[in-house]
Amino acid sequence: MPPEPGKGAGKPKPKPKPQLRAKPCPICGKPASEASHPFCSERCRDVDLNRWLSGSYAIPAAEEDEEDAE
């Protein structure tokens, strides 16, 4: 007997999207918001930008010795 129309015959059920754990705001630790991701607010986003522009974030680099350069 063929399936009745409109009863979802032959249509696969959509898989639920996996729930990702939201990471906290890197500045204050509050839950991040979608509008300011990965930050919780525009304030924390601005704090982070200020840290980049002022040079607070830096990648440490070891200077080469003259002996190692040869």
Mean pLDDT of 5-9: 58
Instruction: Give the number of residues written for the chain.
Output: 70
How far apart CA 37 and CA 31 sit, in angstroms, is 10
What CA–CA distances, in Å, run from 32 to 2, 3, 22, 63, 65?
50, 46, 7, 38, 44
How does pLDDT run across 12-66, given as a tens digit for each residue? Answer: 777 765 555 678 999 999 999 999 999 999 999 999 999 999 999 888 888 877 6
CA dihedral 19, 20, 21, 27 (to 10 degrees): -140
Tell if the pTM clears 0.95, that is, is over it.
no
Amino acid present at 70: E
